[in-house]
């Protein structure tokens, strides 16, 4: 693999969310180009293989049948996401692969681009990945979109298409994907009948309805009210990272989870501090006037199935939802820590990275507990700050457009550390272990930046890495290539960057956001060389899953396959 400076990658690909230049009168780029981009040599060694399992012995027959139905519903999201990521026939694309290994990587990436390596094409004759995926016509210009008088053109749940006269029109998701959505909704309703938890059954019914009418708020509110359900599912069009053209359109995903009751109990006490932490943010009062909802909670889960958008490129290790700002302000968000996936990434990736790049005498401070805490408070921190701009520019996501995702991820990371500091000051966490959080955080940047410039988390990491370097929060030994954290300077850098990011969000300052990303969102030569050391050491970039009903031992509990289905769901992706 080759890693490139983020800025260079932006210029080369012209398809990246956070680095994309302001909207110009350019087309949205076709998925097959007459001038192919450089073909990427497949690198399956980029991934460590992890089986997704959980102890299901505590579930009765109905519980196991319910989980099987939920996995099947999540597998329908795989089919939907293929339609969103590749504008063509899936089987025909897979047949173009020259060998089984390449075919496997195309399937893993839901298309012919390597998501962990700057979206390099995996097949000959393939052009750059379209920034608008399949959400927009390939020949649509950004100017044409902005001038179109369509009330729902920026909706999270509409596609842009052309009518018989070539004019832009919108098509709701529930119309465009009707057959697959009816299949998924039916599976959710069958699962609801088997749920021993009434609140979870109600959520599944509401979510099934939402898939068929694109009105997700009622199901989001019901999801926020669930407290006792031992199983959970995140399903539907959720995140907008796939839309690197405008950041409006959401991609389908499905994640099935089993709750770790003991760990969840240990986490619940931190949610009560959110209002106090919001009031203490290092910005003027107007930037922290919006109080997070009081119903926010923290829970730990074992993931048993990752589907679609959740299973492409870098795999998430925590979830903070819903994304609906109205629901967030009313009830807060739920933060789901995926502990089995988190542990796998720490063991296979983060610790080996630290052994290569962290100063020997600080290596002891890279711990799983600190990694878990940093990740948890990253998700909690999404609820802090500001959701609506202060100057009438709409929501923060609307005002920052293509910069919104990377800025939100950056804000969550730095405010997560801010929360750790404040809770340690209050005696709610062990202040003597604060250096663990700092050093583990630095190792985490090294891990995440390897995801490539197309990833919002990676761009956010580079802005933070370079800002902290300028502030002296850490230093690099030129002789050893190892990094050392300065705890006092790190604390000051956290406050300074928190203030900068929150102010840009509150002001809806798109120009300032883009300038910060363009200036600091680059991999400098020293770091580029250090990352090559990780490659040479054979350290995986991310993980991939062995998953499915057979891995869980639930094949006998599944609903019989739809006779119309021509391709059985894969258990390895």
> What mean pLDDT comes out for the span 452-475?
82
Per-residue pLDDT, 46: 84
Please state, in angstroms and rounded to a whole number, the distance separating the CA atoms of residues 506 and 391. 8
Q: Say whether pLDDT at 573 is over 90.
A: no
Mean pLDDT (the chain) is 87
| 3-state percent breakdown (helix, strand, coil) of the chain, nearest 5 | 50, 15, 35
Tell me the H-state helices in 453-570: 456-471, 487-507, 510-520, 525-536, 549-552
Interval 19-46: pLDDT, tens? 333 333 334 433 333 334 444 444 556 8
| Contact in structure between 526 and 410 (CB atoms under 8 Å) | no
Per-residue pLDDT, 570: 44
* More reliable by pLDDT, 381 or 556: 556
Please state, in angstroms and rounded to a whole number, the distance separating the CA atoms of residues 285 and 544. 44
pTM, two decimals, is 0.79
Per-residue pLDDT, 257: 98
Direct distance between the N- and C-terminal alpha carbons of the chain, in angstroms, rounded to an integer: 20
> What mean pLDDT comes out for the span 172-184?
98
Taken in order 516, 522, 525, 527, the sign of the CA dihedral is positive
Per-residue pLDDT, 453: 53
- Model confidence at 78, pLDDT cuts 50, 70, 90, reads very high
Burial grade of 525 (CB within 10 A; 0-12, 13-18, 19 or more): exposed
> What mean pLDDT comes out for the span 345-363?
96
Per-residue pLDDT, 146: 95
Please state, in angstroms and rounded to a whole number, the distance separating the CA atoms of residues 414 and 482. 22
Per-residue pLDDT, 352: 96
Lowest average pLDDT, out of 118-122, 317-321, 477-481, goes to: 317-321
Interval 427-463: pLDDT, tens? 999 999 999 999 999 999 888 888 665 556 677 788 9
Instruction: Name the residue among 380, 371, 327, 324 with its Cα closest to residue 346.
Output: 371
DSSP secondary structure string for all residues of 117-131 = TTTEESSTT--PPPT
143: its two tokens: 């100017």
Please state, in angstroms and rounded to a whole number, the distance separating the CA atoms of residues 208 and 65. 18
384: its two tokens: 């802090």
Residue 58: C-alpha distances to residues 61, 197, 260, 291, 553 (Å):
10, 15, 12, 39, 14
528: its two tokens: 């580029």
How far is C-alpha 164 from the geometric centre of its chain's CA atoms?
37
């Amino acid at each position: 693999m080759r890693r490139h400076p983020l800025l260079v990658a932006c210029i080369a690909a012209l398809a990246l969310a956070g680095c994309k230049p302001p909207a110009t009168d350019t087309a949205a780029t076709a998925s097959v180009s007459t001038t192919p981009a450089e073909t990427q040599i497949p690198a399956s060694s980029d991934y460590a293989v992890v089986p997704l399992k959980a102890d299901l012995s505590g579930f009765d027959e109905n519980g196991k049948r319910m989980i099987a139905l939920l996995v099947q519903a999540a597998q329908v999201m795989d089919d939907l996401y293929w339609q969103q990521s590749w504008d063509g026939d899936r089987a025909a694309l897979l047949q173009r692969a020259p060998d089984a290994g390449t075919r496997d990587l195309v399937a893993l990436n839901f298309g012919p681009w390597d998501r962990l390596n700057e979206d390099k094409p995996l097949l000959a004759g393939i052009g750059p990945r379209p920034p608008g995926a399949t959400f927009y016509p390939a020949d649509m210009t950004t100017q044409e979109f902005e001038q179109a008088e369509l009330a729902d053109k920026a909706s999270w749940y509409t596609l842009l298409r052309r009518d018989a006269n070539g004019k832009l029109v919108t098509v709701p998701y529930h119309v465009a994907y009707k057959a697959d959505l009816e299949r998924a909704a039916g599976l959710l309703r069958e699962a609801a009948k088997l749920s021993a938890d009434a609140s979870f059954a109600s959520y599944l019914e509401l979510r099934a309805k939402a898939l068929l009418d694109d009105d997700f708020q009622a199901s989001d509110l019901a999801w926020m009210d669930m407290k006792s359900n031992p199983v959970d599912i995140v399903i539907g069009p959720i995140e907008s990272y796939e839309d690197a053209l405008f950041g409006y359109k959401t991609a389908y995903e499905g994640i099935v989870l089993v709750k770790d009751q003991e760990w969840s109990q240990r986490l619940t006490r931190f949610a009560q501090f959110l209002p106090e932490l919001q009031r203490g943010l290092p910005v003027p009062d107007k930037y922290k006037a919006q109080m997070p909802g009081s119903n926010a909670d923290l829970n730990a889960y074992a993931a048993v199935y990752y589907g679609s958008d959740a299973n492409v490129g870098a795999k998430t290790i925590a979830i903070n939802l819903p994304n609906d700002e109205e629901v967030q302000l009313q009830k807060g968000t739920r933060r789901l820590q995926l502990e089995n996936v988190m542990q796998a990434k720490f063991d296979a990736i983060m610790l080996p990275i630290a052994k290569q790049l962290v100063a020997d005498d600080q290596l002891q401070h890279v711990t799983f507990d600190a990694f878990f805490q940093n990740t948890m408070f990253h998700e909690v921190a999404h609820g802090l700050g500001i959701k609506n701009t202060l100057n009438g520019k709409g929501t923060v996501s609307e005002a920052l457009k293509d910069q919104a995702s990377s800025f939100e991820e950056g804000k969550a990371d730095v405010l997560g550390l801010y929360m750790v500091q404040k809770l340690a000051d209050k005696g709610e966490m062990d202040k003597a272990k604060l250096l663990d959080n700092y050093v583990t955080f630095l190792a985490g940047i090294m891990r995440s930046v390897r995801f490539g410039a197309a990833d919002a988390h990676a761009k956010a990491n580079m802005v933070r890495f370079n800002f902290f370097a300028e502030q002296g929060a850490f230093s690099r030994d030129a002789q050893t290539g190892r990094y050392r954290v300065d705890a006092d300077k790190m604390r000051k850098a956290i406050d300074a960057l928190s203030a900068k990011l929150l102010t840009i969000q509150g002001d809806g300052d798109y120009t300032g956001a883009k300038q910060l990303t363009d200036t600091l969102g680059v991999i400098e030569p020293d770091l580029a060389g250090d990352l090559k050391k990780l490659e040479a050491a054979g350290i995986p970039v991310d993980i991939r899953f062995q998953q499915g009903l057979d891995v869980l031992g639930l094949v006998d509990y599944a609903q019989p396959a739809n006779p119309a289905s021509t391709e059985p769901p894969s258990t390895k992706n």
